[in-house]
A and B are shown apart, each in its own frame.
Chain A
Amino acid sequence: MPYSVLILDDDADFNCLLTDIFEQAGYIVTSLTDPIEAVDAFRETDYDLVVTDHRMPNMAGAEFLKVIKKIKPEVPVIMVSGYLENDTIRELISGGVGGVFLKPLNIFSLLERTAELIDEAKKVENAPESDAGDIGDASGVDAGVQLGFVFRSFPCKSGASASFAKRLYSLRNFKSSLSLIGEPGMHYRSICEDIRGFYENEAEHFVYLSKGSFDQEQALSLIKVAKQEGAERVTCVLLELEGMDESQKKLATSLAKHQGEFEELGVALRTVFCVCGDLDALFDEGLIDENLYILMGTAEVLVPPLRDCDIDVGVMAQQLVVEVAREKSLAAVPRFERSARDLFRQHKWTRNYQELRATVRKILEDHPGDIITHAAVKSALKFNEDVSLRTRFESHLSSQKIDYLRAAAILLGGDRDQTASFFGTDVNAIENQM
């Protein structure tokens, strides 16, 4: 689970350096240069740790510390400064600073102390909850859950995502196949990278195959390359399974059952099936055959839609902001106004992560400032809605068309000739549509 860190330093270069250090170490960073803004951000956001400079205009580090300790005394703080007198250091420590680091920094010590402080804070935070033996409250909020393993695809601050991560972790030693079933727009690849992260063994390799890249030659080639690179076990992740053609689905079954050429590769093989949609409906529609339907039932995990993980959405949006800011080489990572973050939490995200990513990109393209406002988010959401209105109508009509075709095919016992005759078209047209 990535922790979030607020970095405050008026020196833009040093701020960037700190941001890079913490991001490289896997933290989600909000970097600010103005203490007043930092207080606002701290009040509005649940950070796991704060790193602050001491000498700053408007408000000294010691004063900033006093203010934020009044707001949330449980959040650990690290002070970084060019020079500090011993007395000042003592005062800071008695004021609640968990670590004082002088420039030039020892990065390893800084990160080590960061991890220690967050660990200590979480232990204190979790103590009463673990007695209760429950994950989160009735609203599904679980700010204090500590998974005990790394999970990045969801921040796991919501009950649904924390349960999902735990279930995946409990199934990490699945023998031959695992199914991830979710709504459209899910970030299956990131989820599978999390599964890969459950293993410390370097000999554990994952290869990714999707509709456009999955054929026997490609699959065998990737597995062989992994083997040459020292893989003892290769997990083949099949993305967009429901959209694959018949031959690809048959190949998926052979792969999962280690049949044919997959039998003699001399390396242990596993398969992860990633599917968008309701599996029973896909089975009824003939998009998943009997073999896959049963195979996929062995170890099946439902991926929670983003609307069930509203608290996570804010953090995921911030992660995406960091990603885009880095791509665009922005001087500082923009942060959300509280009301803007609320909009993210309230939105339904029917296209899940895909939609979230598109929205964040749109916001940063249109409003590249330091603060992401409520208006900016609203405008990006509206833009996506307007742009997609036509797309949605087209997609709705198109999906209806397919539904009618499938319904007719099912009612006519899967007979393509009869289906073609029913619609007054030829078999090839029906085959192409289905």
Chain B
Amino acid sequence: MSETSTGTLSVVVERQIPYPPEKIWRALTQPHLIEEWLMKNDFQPVVGHHFDLRADWGAVGCRVVAVEPNRTLSYTWEAYGLESVVTWTLTPSATGTHLRMEQAGFRPDQQQAYQGAKAGWPRFLAALEQLLARTD
């Protein structure tokens, strides 16, 4: 059991960046700039907009969830049948911007097809973690 897989399934990366939020916001939201550091895309900063991030190995399907210029950007991230949510938070600091990216776990299932079991992703993964902890 790896250390990072315990608790909630989310990934957080934070960095102090020596540039103002406005400049970072451009890099996060303008397609030709996004392509330079992330992937080819047809992004638009519009809530509900569907876009793809494309790389040699395949594509990530995304949908814009939240846009608050220079402060917050959030979109779904679906690859390999798993949907997660990526949220960027920009906070001005004395030396520039505190940039935070959180990719949060798996979307709970909308429906439950199997009677007597609640197998939504979060519960499923929690159950597996318990099980794997016992079998160590």
Answer yes or no: are A and B bound together in one complex.
Answer: no
